[in-house]
Amino acid sequence: MRKEDVQSKLDIIPENLEKIEILRAKSFEEFTSDFRNIDSALHRFQTSIQALVDIGGYIIAWLGLRTPGTSGEVIDILVEHSLLKTEQRDRYVSMIQFRNRIVHFYNDIDLKILYRILQEELIDIRELYRTLIQIIEEHPE
């Protein structure tokens, strides 16, 4: 597996997390008082989570595993093949569901939930990012 094949996707995540950290430092009132903060957070979450799904899909294709029908199935397939831990599954699927909410229900995002995710759940993105890199490095060509 060649890390270079997904390097552009990998590069998006640390860049997004760096910018999300700036937003994370704001109080709820400060964060919600400027639509640019909200728009930026939503965009950064959406593109980070989508990049993770894309990288997971690349790993699945490279290893010749069954084709996922949904983004959530990417996680399920990686868990089925012990590439991700079972106890991580629900957190990662919830993360993907949040991305779907941003994409499909963009006009109905609860700002309190967005802020809570901003404050408490970046660890899931970081953790999945590191795990996917590790999988790629452990499965050379």
Q: What is the CATH number of domain 3-138?
A: 1.20.120.580
Give residue 84's Cα distance to chain centre: 14
The CA distance from 57 to 79, in Å, is: 13
The CA distance from 126 to 96, in Å, is: 14
Higher pLDDT: 101 or 78? It is 78
What pLDDT is attached to residue 121?
A: 87
**Of 82-91, 99-108, 114-123, minimum mean pLDDT range:** 99-108
The CA distance from 21 to 26, in Å, is: 9
pTM higher than the cut 0.75: yes
Mean pLDDT for the chain? Answer: 93
DSSP 23: H
